Amino acid sequence: MLRDPGWLRPSLAFVLAVFGVLFRFVLPSRLGAFGLKRFRARPDEDIFLHVRGLLGNLLLLWAGWLLVQILVGMRESWRASVWSPLGIVAVLLPTSFARLYVLRHLPDQAAAVLGSGLRSWFWIALREAVPLGAILAPILVARSLAAELPAEIPTAWDWRRGDLVWTDRDTALAILRHRTMLVYGVLLGLEGAYLIARWATGRAVDVGRVMLSRPLWLYYLFKTGWVLLFAGFNLALIGHARGEGSGLPALLPGLAVLSALGFLVAAGLRGSSGGSHRTADGG
């Protein structure tokens, strides 16, 4: 993979900042100053201006991301500096334009359904940041403490011997990195299979709303609890390799989420049981 030669990030940040300011602030005001708005023939010119402003914001954020990389001493990489941000821009710009165009030209009822669906997916993406952050946390901790870690790191607990299983550092870090990702991937795959089955059988037209329903919220807590638990276990193993104390605090977030899930399920079962008794008694 190509490496940043050293001049790419500062040079690219400068160019992005210039064009970001140009698209976000200068061009719209200059168009108005020269009176060009009077000669517009396109009815969707305001949509183009909005997307142009979004492009300016994205370019400024891209430049800020490059500056953050430089300030924190992040390893130089074309993937992190160029290709990943470029992919985000390439996805967001057409999506934003299509959303605004559809909301304007579809009938009101269809536009309302589309708008609510977009809001649903926004909250779904926002809540998925919690398990994804839990996956990322042990990786960042391991990288920041790589120089302080011993040659071998524990990766699991041997129930037969009643002791930890120690593995060489590089292999152990790979195991810790992929284990929580595997748990998250399996649980997310099961959720996706359920949603696809409901959509294919016609029982769910708006998948986004189904994902925000109470049963799927409970499953989200189940998924997040296990991801937090495995991520905490990985952090506890890293701490033990460094000679730290008990790793129990790292397990508490996952245990707390799973305990909350158990309480909600028990409360729901108790409520449904009470309702059925009242119906049977004629209350």
Q: pTM value?
A: 0.58
Overall domain count for the chain: 2
For residue 128, what is the DSSP state? T
**Which has the closest alpha carbon to 221: 273, 256, 247, 195?**
256
In a domain, 283, yes or no: no
* CA angle at 52 for the pair 46 and 21, rounded to the nearest 5°: 130
pLDDT of residue 203: 75
- Both 148 and 19 in one domain: the answer is no
Written as six digits, the tokens of 77 are 């990489």
- Both 69 and 185 in one domain: the answer is no
Lowest mean pLDDT: which of 89-98, 116-125, 243-252? 116-125
pLDDT tens string 90-116: 888 888 887 777 667 665 544 455 555
Is the CB of residue 188 less than 8 Å from the CB of residue 239? Answer: no
- Both 35 and 97 in one domain: the answer is yes
- Both 89 and 143 in one domain: the answer is no
Q: Is 134 helix (H, G, I), strand (E, B) or coil?
A: helix
Is the CB of residue 255 less than 8 Å from the CB of residue 229? Answer: yes
Confidence of residue 140 (pLDDT cuts 50, 70, 90): confident
Instruction: Count the Cβ atoms, other than its own, within 10 Å of residue 170.
Output: 11
CB-based contacts of 40: which residues, under 8 Å, 6+ apart? none
Is the CB of residue 254 less than 8 Å from the CB of residue 232? Answer: yes
pLDDT tens string 9-54: 888 999 999 999 988 887 655 444 434 444 444 556 777 788 888 8
Strands (E), the chain: 152-158, 163-168
CA 66/CA 15 separation, integer angstroms: 11
CB-based contacts of 282: which residues, under 8 Å, 6+ apart? none
- Both 147 and 71 in one domain: the answer is no
- Output the CA–CA distances (angstroms, integers) from residue 63 to 17, 21, 58, 86, in the order listed: 6, 11, 9, 12
**Boundaries of domain holding 89:** 8-105
Residue owning tokens 């986004």: 208
CA 179/CA 165 separation, integer angstroms: 15
